[in-house]
Structure 1
Amino acid sequence: MITVEQYLHFTGQALDGMATTVRDLGAERATLTPIPGVSSPYALLTHCCGVADYWAGELVAGRPAHRDRDSEFVAAGPVEPLLARVERTKEALEQDVRQADFRAPLRAEPDSSFLGPDVPLDQGAALLHVYEELAQHHGHVDMLRAVIERGVA
C-alpha cells in the first residue's frame, strides 16, 4: 500500500505540472481551446481543483465543495487567482488524505452526473479516482501546451 506522502507527492506533481503550464502560457494562451470540443489548459486545471475539492473534500472528508462542474470546463480568467486556488487545493487535499479512513464508506453518495467510476467506492477508491483524474488531465494539459506553443491554435 502506498503511503500518504507518496500519494501527495504524485497528486502534487500533477497539480504543480498543470499550474506551471498555465503560468508559463499566461492568461491569453492558457485559455485557448486549440482543439474543437476540448477544454483549455486553464479550464482543465480549474476542473482538477473541482475534482479534488469534491471527491476528497466532500465525499472523503465531509466538507461541502459547492461545485459547478459544467462551468469548470469553460473557465477562463487571470492566472494568479487560479494558481492560488491550486495551492489551497493542495493544502486541503493533504488534510483530507491524512484524515481519510481508506476502507470507510464515502460520506455521501457521488453525484451521478459527475461521471465518476461505475464501481462501489470507499474513501481510498475515491482518492484513487482523484489521482486518476489529475494524472489524466495533466497529460491533456501537456498535449495542449505543445499544440498552443506550436501556433496551431
Structure 2
Amino acid sequence: MTTPPQAHRTDPPLDADEATTLVAFLDYHRDTLRMKAAGLTAEQLARPLPPSSLTLGGLLKHVALNEASWFGEVLHGRPMPEPWVSADWDADRDWELTSAKDDSPEELRRLMDESVEQARRDIDAALAEGGLEFRSATVSRKENQSFTLRWILLHMIEEYARHNGHADLLREAIDGVTGE
C-alpha cells in the first residue's frame, strides 16, 4: 500500500471550545479531500469508478458548490456567485459533477480553495455576530425554520466525511494510492 501525497493537514484539537472543534474538524475533512486529489492529472481527476459516474474532479467542484451554497447563500443570504449562478441546472441537475471533466486540475483546485476561503470568512462573521446559534438568512423548505451555524457546520462535516470515503475508493482505483 502506498499513501497519498503529503499535504498540510492538522488534526483537530483534543481540548477546545465547541466552535473551534467544529471548524477544525471541517478543515480537517477539507484537507483530506485535497490530499486525495493531490498530484493527479485532468484525465485522472475525470476518471470514474464504474458503475458510478462520480469522479474526484466532480467531488472537488461539488464541495465548492456546497461551500458557496451553505455558507454564502443559506447562512448569509447572498446570491450564488459564478460559475453556479449561470449553470443550466434545469438541463443537468448534477452540473457541478458532470462539468468538472471540462475543467483543468488547477481550475478545480482554485474553485474549491476560493469557496473554502469565502466560507471561512462567512463562518468567522457568523461566530462574531451570534456564535454557533447564529441563524441562517434562509429557512429550511421542510421545517420552515432557519438553520443554526452549528447545524450547518455539522452538515458540512458529514458531507465531506461521506465524500472522503468516495474519494478513497476513486483514488485507489486511479493509481493504487491508499491511506488517510
TM-score by length of structure 2 reads 0.69
Q: For the structure 1 residues 14 and 93, does the alpha-carbon distance in structure 2 shift closer, same or farther, using more than 3 Å as the test? A: same
Q: 1:120 Cα shift?
A: 6.9
Q: Is the 8 A contact 1:30 1:40 kept in 2?
A: yes
Segments ≥4 residues shifted beyond 4 Å:
none
Higher percent of residues as helix: 1
Q: Is the 8 A contact 2:138 2:146 kept in 1?
A: no
- Aligned equivalent of 1:149: 175
CA distance in 1, matches of 2:134, 2:19: 17
Q: For the structure 1 residues 84 and 111, does the alpha-carbon distance in structure 2 shift closer, same or farther, using more than 3 Å as the test? A: farther
Q: For the structure 1 residues 120 and 110, does the alpha-carbon distance in structure 2 shift closer, same or farther, using more than 3 Å as the test? A: closer
Q: Deviations over 1:38-75 (max 9, x none)?
A: 41011011101111110111111222225456211212
CA distance in 2, matches of 1:88, 1:47: 13
Gaps of 5+ in 1: none
Q: For the structure 1 residues 145 and 53, does the alpha-carbon distance in structure 2 shift closer, same or farther, using more than 3 Å as the test? A: same
Gaps of 5+ in 2: 1-16
Q: Is the 8 A contact 2:46 2:57 kept in 1?
A: yes
Q: What are the residue-to-residue correspondences of 1:10-21 with 2, within 5 Å? A: 10-21=25-36
Q: What are the residue-to-residue correspondences of 1:89-108 with 2, within 5 Å? A: 89-100=115-126, 101=130, 102-108=132-138
One-letter amino acid matched to 1:99: A
Larger Rg: 2
- Aligned equivalent of 2:9: none
CA distance in 1, matches of 2:114, 2:97: 20
Q: Does 1:35 align with 2:50?
A: yes
Give the match's secondary structure for 2:47: coil
Q: What are the residue-to-residue correspondences of 1:62-101 with 2, within 5 Å? A: 62-66=77-81, 67=84, 68=89, 70-74=94-98, 75-76=100-101, 77-100=103-126, 101=130
CA distance in 2, matches of 1:104, 1:94: 15
Higher percent of residues as strand: 2
Q: Is the 8 A contact 1:59 1:110 kept in 2?
A: no
Give the total of aligned pairs. 144
Q: 1:8 Cα shift?
A: 3.3
- Aligned equivalent of 2:62: 47
